[in-house]
């Protein structure tokens, strides 16, 4: 069983249960995209992950993998060609929520996993960082070129299933 509970979800749920009078369906706001570090809830090579509408993003030392949540094996892999082999990957912008994975017996549970607004890959290329973040519930990434950085070094290889669509806005 997967449990990812945030306080605003509990408040809405309790409000609906305690209200005895029938009411029209409530349109809930889309929660912002959040990133969580891997502390054993997924494969070891995954450093951070985020779940969006219909997909999961997995960030590894070598790139990122965007997987469909439809149960299909569809995935798109972004690899930054010629990038650092030892990137510094860290959460950026701590959010108030946490994630909990209550799967199997209690020894397997992963609890109190912090949530971040983004993930920064420092030193992707010399003087160039990569920042994955949400724009509301949507996924975005930025290449941040610092003084002395060369934007022409940034090269992205995109591989994956042709059934998925990836829109790149420059």
User: Average pLDDT of each block of 10 consecutive residues along the chain (170 residues)?
Assistant: 37 39 59 90 93 89 85 83 89 93 90 95 93 87 93 91 60
Does 104 reside within a domain?
Answer: yes
Does 148 reside within a domain?
Answer: yes
Choose among 87, 110, 88: nearest CA to 100.
Answer: 110
User: Across-strand partners of 125?
Assistant: 128
Does 18 reside within a domain?
Answer: no
Does 80 reside within a domain?
Answer: yes
Does 13 reside within a domain?
Answer: no
How many CB atoms sit inside 10 A of residue 19's CB? 9
Does 20 reside within a domain?
Answer: no
| Owning domain of residue 60 | 31-160
Does 26 reside within a domain?
Answer: no
Count of domains for the chain: 1
Does 167 reside within a domain?
Answer: no
Supply the pTM of this predicted model: 0.74
Pairing of strands 55-59, 63-68: antiparallel
CA 40-134-4 angle, 5° bins:
40
């Amino acid at each position: 069983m997967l449990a990812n509970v945030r306080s605003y979800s509990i408040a809405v749920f309790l409000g609906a249960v305690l209200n005895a009078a029938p009411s029209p369906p409530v349109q809930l706001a889309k929660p912002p995209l959040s990133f969580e570090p891997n502390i054993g809830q997924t494969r070891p090579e995954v450093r951070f992950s985020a779940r969006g509408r219909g997909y999961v993003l997995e960030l590894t030392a070598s790139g990122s993998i965007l997987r469909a949540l439809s149960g299909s094996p569809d995935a798109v892999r972004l690899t930054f060609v010629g990038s650092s082999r030892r990137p510094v990957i860290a959460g950026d912008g701590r959010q108030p929520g946490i994630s909990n994975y209550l799967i199997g017996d209690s020894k397997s549970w992963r609890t109190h996993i912090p949530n971040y607004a983004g993930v920064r890959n420092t030193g992707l290329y010399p003087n160039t960082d990569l920042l994955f973040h949400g724009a509301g519930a949507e996924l975005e990434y930025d290449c941040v070129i610092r003084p002395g950085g060369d934007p022409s070094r940034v090269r992205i290889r995109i591989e994956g299933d042709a059934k998925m669509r990836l829109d790149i806005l420059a």
